[in-house]
Structure 1
């Protein structure tokens, strides 16, 4: 099993083009093993010099959970190599998509079990806007839950906006984002799309990590999940997310 986990992590990290799902050759792959593959990939990333900077939640909207047949989000790791500074074009990827996110930067350690939205929010230093670039290694973004967990939640890059505020200054359930592609508004949502409130997602993350003996650490960045459906980033396209109180984030492909 250890060798299979290591081989799967290495294959997913090295993938430069679409590949078949792991479950096609590993039909009994389960979510717990998917997280073991994800953790092994993080170990390999750290081995090559990357630093763990936080985590992301995926499948936080009720609609996405229903489509996948689950009742809770998935978690994935973020490293410093995934940070995309402002003004830097999105590197060439397989089939990148962008989604707006409300992002927490942690001021205190947040550990479960028993974390609530209130205790989670009390551990947050500040909130900012972000865009996550996802890029599934699987053909046509088709996968099972164990597959996408193993693939680190389809993570690729993320970019943060220039405005940050303490959570006490925001109504995060009403904080809105407009998604613009090449000058045209294509979608809009509020923070309520993320588990009803992004702090609920943060608490869920802390409680899920506690089951693995882990916690959300001070200084970590936490991407709380896509507020809208992800939009395709074609070569030469420009995607922007405009937030009510947190400014704008713009990326070009």
Structure 2
């Protein structure tokens, strides 16, 4: 038993020691990306699969997103290889700022703050409620609320110092603006059925949502309020929250499909009468 404990301790120590090397970072990113892409392709390839199989692919994406966020968090906390681009990405906008673009970036930052995000989430939830979709409304509001809590909590756990333009007492990983925006946009796309759209319409809707998230992240970088990995962490955390919320909702409402194994209910014989 002690040998097993020592082995686990050595393994954890090795992972922590090697977690900021390029090999571990690239390998983990490749695995997570492959699982997410593979599960999406498989689900598209078998649209009429049973609920158990569909749930399995959704669960695989959740685990991959969680793993990616965990690896990035460790990298950030240990100033690992993935943080190498943070300093250049912070300094380049500082050397190319203009008053007009700075004003625009500040407007984007204000609009993507928690008060506006919460108001937009409540408005979308009200629309869904009036459309007799209380489950979708609850999922959307739950994702926004979870993002509002998870962002600051993650910042406290990782404890990464913010860039110099931010007060020293502030933590920056993950970006709370990007986390809540990603959660809101993703939950809106799921709740209003963008995934059920076809062809160019689905692509266009997804592109608009991704552009909104990218705009918020770019504004944070341009103003020097976050490191690059803070923005990436916000996207990963927000996506994980949406994946979790949509999977729970889908599992609770989706009927059995032909691919599922039927459950046979055996009759119970009544005791013989005296």
Normalized against structure 2, the TM-score is what? 0.28
- Structure with the higher fraction of residues in helix conformation: 2
Flag the structure with higher strand content: 1
